[in-house]
């Protein structure tokens, strides 16, 4: 079968440069490589065809002979296989493919994103519930204002690294493969600073304090994070800055304890109100609310005020306020108060625990325990 024109095989014009030839070949090699097409004989033929075309056109002498005499001018050289200069050029081009696959890349410098920062912010329960805005001051690595990030002393400039000629990477030939790796002399920057900037020591960045305004949304909870994009450390070699994460911590509150979107509080009730019933006033985050205490209320009873909790950041409705009753024992009694309480106790004893149902049942359980 007649051979196809080598330029048509690679899909390039006859005046294509060496870089265009290499780019076209790499694209075809990646597409038709036998390892990627194990069950496709046609793909293997295309791969061999592209390899042959590239070996001829990348060699100036073979290309000149091909341009003048066509396939007849290079058949003898092509039949020699992959030896000599043709094999070296093939390895160089195919090595680039492996370099890309394994992360070698072809960037001239190593560009790094700046580090993310964390700031622990302590706020009160009211600010967490209603939202607020505050200012924080953080240390961060910023671009040096003296050298403007170049790392070089004013009046001078960095020079291209002689080890990698400014590429930031060096090529290592290992048999069949050509592999790129970070230049050990400039550490991938591609530049050498002969006269470092005195302000940053050649790093191009300095540690500074900066003040930021942070908006705290309503409903934030313990451990929630607020992301400030681009407010982290500055990048290296022109890389983007990192982010700042503000982590919320809630201060202990004098009255309320938070449990997700619900609030809990203890509600002291006098012994007379607990026994006879009455109306008491309790605090909420939005003011005061009234609760009707029924007669004979015991310590531990919980009153739920719906919607008086906190509306979380992602919640559809507010939580509830749980009021836990604590019946108070009176203190600092006068003689008359003691007399009345003694009279009340005598009446209770006379009625054989009729007015103390829990105490009566508890004593019965104690007797059963010891009798066993």
Residue 249 near residue 120 (C-beta atoms within 8 A): yes
Other CB atoms within 10 A of residue 252 CB: 8
Residue 226 near residue 199 (C-beta atoms within 8 A): no
Q: What pLDDT is attached to residue 30? A: 82
pLDDT, tens digit, 9 for 90 and up, residues 127-138: 999 999 999 998
Calpha distance 333→326 (Å, rounded)? 19
Provide the token pair at 131.
């939202």
Q: What pLDDT is attached to residue 14? A: 85
Residues comprising the chain, all counted:
372
Calpha distance 49→6 (Å, rounded)? 8
> Which secondary structure element, helix H or strand E, spans residue 18, and what is its range?
helix 18-32
Calpha distance 82→86 (Å, rounded)? 6
Calpha distance 233→241 (Å, rounded)? 6
Task: Give, in order, the Cα–Cα distances in Å from 51 to each of 6, 13, 58, 165, 360.
Answer: 10, 17, 11, 30, 99
List of residues 6+ apart from 110 with CB closer than 8 A: 168, 182, 187, 188, 189, 236, 237
Q: What pLDDT is attached to residue 353? A: 57
Calpha distance 142→207 (Å, rounded)? 6
- DSSP 8-class letter at 291: E
Calpha distance 96→22 (Å, rounded)? 9
Calpha distance 158→203 (Å, rounded)? 12
Q: What domains lie within the chain, and their CATH numbers?
A: 6-101 (1.10.287.110), 110-156+197-252 (2.60.260.20), 159-192 (no CATH), 255-329 (2.60.260.20), 332-372 (no CATH)
pLDDT, tens digit, 9 for 90 and up, residues 181-222: 778 777 777 788 878 888 888 777 788 788 899 999 999 999
Q: Which residues of the chain have pLDDT under 50?
A: 77-92, 95-109
Per-residue b or e along 287-299, where b marks 16 or more CB atoms closer than 10 Å to that residue's CB: eeeeeebeeebee
Residue 196 near residue 144 (C-beta atoms within 8 A): no
Q: What pLDDT is attached to residue 361? A: 66
**Pairing outcome for strands 257-259 and 244-250:** unpaired
**CA atoms 210, 189, 23, 92: torsion sign:** negative
Calpha distance 190→147 (Å, rounded)? 18
């Amino acid at each position: 079968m007649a051979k196809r024109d080598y330029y048509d095989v690679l899909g390039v014009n006859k005046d294509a440069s060496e870089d265009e030839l290499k780019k076209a070949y790499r694209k075809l090699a990646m597409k038709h490589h036998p390892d990627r097409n194990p069950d496709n004989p046609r793909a293997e033929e295309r791969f061999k065809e592209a390899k042959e075309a590239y070996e001829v056109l990348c060699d100036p002498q073979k290309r000149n002979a091909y341009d003048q005499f066509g396939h007849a001018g290079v058949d003898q050289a092509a039949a020699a296989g992959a030896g000599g200069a043709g094999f070296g050029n093939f390895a160089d081009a195919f090595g680039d493919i492996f370099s890309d696959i394994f992360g070698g890349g072809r960037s001239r410098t190593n560009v790094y994103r700046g580090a993310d920062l964390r700031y622990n912010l302590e706020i009160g329960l009211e600010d967490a519930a209603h939202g607020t805005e505050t200012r924080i001051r953080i240390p961060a690595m910023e671009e040096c204002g003296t050298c403007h990030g170049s790392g070089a002393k004013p009046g001078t400039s960095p020079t291209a690294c002689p080890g990698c000629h400014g590429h930031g990477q060096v090529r290592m030939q290992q048999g069949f493969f050509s592999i790129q790796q970070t230049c050990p002399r400039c550490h991938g920057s591609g530049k050498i600073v002969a006269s470092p900037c005195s302000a940053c020591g050649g790093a191009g960045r300095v540690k500074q304090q900066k003040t930021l305004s942070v908006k705290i949304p309503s409903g934030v909870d313990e451990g929630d994070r607020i992301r400030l994009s681009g407010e982290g450390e500055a990048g290296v070699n022109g890389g983007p800055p990192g982010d700042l994460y503000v982590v919320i911590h809630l201060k202990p509150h004098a009255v309320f304890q938070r449990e997700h979107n619900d609030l809990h509080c203890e509600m002291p009730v006098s012994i007379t109100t607990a026994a006879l019933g009455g109306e008491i006033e309790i605090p909420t985050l939005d003011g005061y609310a009234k609760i009707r205490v029924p007669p004979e209320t015991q310590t531990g009873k919980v009153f739920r005020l719906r919607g008086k909790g906190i509306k979380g950041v992602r919640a559809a409705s507010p939580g509830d306020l749980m009021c836990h009753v604590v019946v108070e024992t009176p203190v600092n009694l006068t003689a008359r108060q003691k007399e009345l309480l003694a009279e009340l106790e005598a009446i209770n004893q006379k009625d054989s625990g009729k007015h103390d149902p829990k105490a009566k049942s508890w004593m019965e359980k104690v007797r059963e325990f010891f009798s066993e």
